[in-house]
Amino acid sequence: MDMDKREYVVHREVLDDARLDEVAQKGTWSTQLTIAERAKESFRCSVSRLKLMVLSWVPVLSWLPHYPIKENIMGDLISGCSVAIMHLSQGLAYAPLAGLRPVFGLYTSFYPVLIYFIFGTSRHISIGTFAVVSMMVGSVVERLAPDANFIGNGTNGTNVNTDARDAYRVQITSSLAVLTGIFQILLGVVKFGFVVNYLSEPLVRAYTTGSAFLVCISQLKYIFGVTPSQFSGPLSVIYTLVDICQLLPKTKVQELLVSVVALTILIAIKGISAYYRQKLPLPIPVELFLIVAATLATHFGDLNSKYDIGVIGEIPTRLEAPSAPDATLFTQLIGDAFAVAVVSYTTSISLAKTFALKHGYKVENNQELLALGLSNTVGGFFQCYSVTACLSRTLVQESTGGKTQVAGIFSSIILLIAILQIGSFFEDLPVAVLATIVVVNLKGMFEQFVDLPMLWTTNKVDLLIWLVTFISTILLNLDLGLAVSVGFAIITLILRIQRPHYSILGLLSGTDLYLDIETYKEAKEIPGIKIFRSSASINYTNAEMYVDALQEKSGIDFGKLLSAHKKQEAELKQKQDIEKNKAEKEAKNQVFGQVSSGIFTLNEITEEKRGLTRQIRDIVSDFSLTERFPSGLGTGRVNWAFQHDPTISNSDSDMGCHGDDGINQTLSDGDEEQGRVFRQGTHSIILDMSTTSFVDTVTVNTLKNIFLDLGQINLDIYLAGCQVCVVKQLETAGFFSEFIPKSKLFVTVHDAVLHVRKKHNQTDLKPDDSNITKM
């Protein structure tokens, strides 16, 4: 059957909430442990439970015993060798970004990889150095250990004590790594892996793009061979860029020439590798070839002494003994450590989820937090700085056949050999070559600028978040920039929640669908009924706007109607008092006149007074009914909108069915402005609550006021589509009462509409509605 012409027919009774509970047998059918039982279960100890706990906390024990050697070993070996080459080049290049000597980049590419192999759940990401995190660490180092703090007097005047500076910077980065790991471990233990959800994708992409821009600026001094002043704090990148421009006349031509040659080689070979990537078994390791060639040329050409080309310098061929971090630095590093923890985890988990989805397995958010935290903490004791996953290495690890984290073990073995045996070989590597490697590897991040035209056409709010994040990251540096970006993103989220789309719904003929009448031409309002819906949950931030939108969309001004109602009541009471006083005065005069003439005895006088009292009461009652129904509308029906008993005015009984013209009776003939909105005969309002996921105290009070206020002006209010959790919250908050009975709550909007139409003897919705719901 053609899907476009497929139909369905449902015959059922109209269901309010109470009837639904009865029909669907509402109750607690799922077995849920109480808090005490859950606490008891968490402390229960058994062999099987201990085994499950160990396997969940140390995932390598669950998959390594079942590792398929024949199927995976070659792919992991090739992948590990390829990634090791990238670790070697990137470790040497990114360590200076963190303000450290290149050898510490090699340490950072070695120890954390071993820790992640044990505790990680992703099979493909490559943990180690990353340009953005290195830049964040470098900004902390420059703030706490600038060169100016280590200037001393030497034979050639003032110079920087580089040994003392480098030793202190290692303490800072190690302490930062340990504190970053502690934050990540704590977040993982308390199951706070979801915190990354507060960083939207546009924010993360803009932040990494801004960070790439800062990294690129930081490498210009090596490319041009100049020495600009060090700046820190907001706008430091602007000051640095201006200073570099002023120093351009002092550019070392030989450094610039090396940089241009290296850039040309890198861009050309990377372009060829990308073009033939389908035919090549693995990407061309152009960075390694360039490093080896540049090192050999510098060493045998003696370029350092002849042309004053800057080189890396001494690289120790040993592993440093573990040492405890300087805990006295923690107070100065708390904010930076938390920022690094969030950014590094966000980068890592996004890559892990991407490749897990591609290859059909699952990564655990909280376990990834623990694995990354342990990698940072343990690495900090071995003089590593903060780590995360790197996109370029991860792509290589996956594309060269890597299947598991065994590839990380192979890459670590190669790095260990490099550190212990051939590390000193790279002492003559020009710094300008490392700078060009860093800049070229930022290409992927700069390509994220293509987000701008896409966001312009799809979501301008996300575009604004992207731009604000990018600009604040550049101008305010990485720490303040991240804080401002997250704050701005949260503000936009609050504003979008606070200003949802409000609509009046109409019935699509022949269906039980209620659609926005401003969007769908064929959706028609039902006479006498206003159906109002908000696109977001009602909460304390938008409750007042909800009421304002309800008045605007329905055309009913609550304030004016209540004022008119109170004014009319006051006038009625005044007239009643005047008539009562007049009747009492006439009765007294009549009684006293008869007593003075001596006609009645005392008993007769008493009986006469009783009769006169009844007569006064009848006069006042007749006057009240006359004032309430001046046109004879009160015959056979009382206008309960003027009754002082709120139970009656809010009742859902037949006595409360006022008809289409009921609301017109609440206004006097002189209240033309107030009466204007009711000439269509609105008698009922249905609030569609299907989009509301929770209610707070302000929401409950707002709904109560809507029921009570509109009840006073003779309008019936109903709720429709409430979720079970919302109904439970309303019950807990004491929303339902004799004034607001639960019979005002219906399962769907259509149920509420059918109830209202039947109540007002208007069951003929549309000719074909009988095919949908049977009363």
Distances (CA, A) of 468 to 152, 206, 481, 570, 654: 42, 9, 9, 57, 59
Give the model's pLDDT for residue 653: 41
pLDDT tens per residue, range 179-233: 999 999 998 888 877 777 777 889 988 988 888 898 899 889 889 988 888 787 7
Give the model's pLDDT for residue 454: 94
Give the model's pLDDT for residue 33: 65
Give the model's pLDDT for residue 764: 56
Region 615-642: mean pLDDT is 38
Region 292-319: mean pLDDT is 86
Q: Helix, strand, or coil here: 487?
A: helix
Q: What is the mean pLDDT of the chain?
A: 81
Between vectors from CA 61 to CA 55 and to CA 64, what angle results, nearest 5°? 140
Q: What is the pTM of this model?
A: 0.72
Give the model's pLDDT for residue 204: 85
Distances (CA, A) of 458 to 32, 205, 451, 452, 453: 43, 16, 10, 10, 9
Query: Which residue matches tokens 């009541």?
Result: 569
N-terminal to C-terminal alpha carbon distance within the chain = 30
Region 422-436: mean pLDDT is 86
The CA distance from 754 to 734, in Å, is 27
Banded model confidence at residue 651, pLDDT cuts 50, 70, 90: very low
Give the model's pLDDT for residue 4: 58
pLDDT of 452 strictly over 90: yes
Give the model's pLDDT for residue 340: 92
Give the model's pLDDT for residue 146: 87
Of 40-49, 132-141, 359-368, 634-643, the one with minimum mean pLDDT is 634-643
pLDDT tens per residue, range 684-721: 999 999 999 899 999 999 999 888 888 887 788 999 99
The CA distance from 643 to 569, in Å, is 10
pLDDT tens per residue, range 82-97: 899 889 888 988 898 8
Give the model's pLDDT for residue 597: 53
Segments in 308-389 forming alpha helices (H): 330-359, 365-381
Banded model confidence at residue 244, pLDDT cuts 50, 70, 90: very high
In this structure, the number of other CB atoms found within 10 A of the CB of residue 54 comes to: 11
Give the model's pLDDT for residue 711: 81
Give the model's pLDDT for residue 643: 34
pLDDT tens per residue, range 515-536: 999 999 889 998 889 999 998 8
Higher-confidence residue: 63 or 231? 63
pLDDT tens per residue, range 155-182: 554 677 888 999 999 999 999 999 999 9
Region 602-630: mean pLDDT is 47
The CA distance from 684 to 703, in Å, is 15
Q: 298 Cβ partners below 8 Å, 6+ apart? A: 304, 309, 311, 428, 429, 430
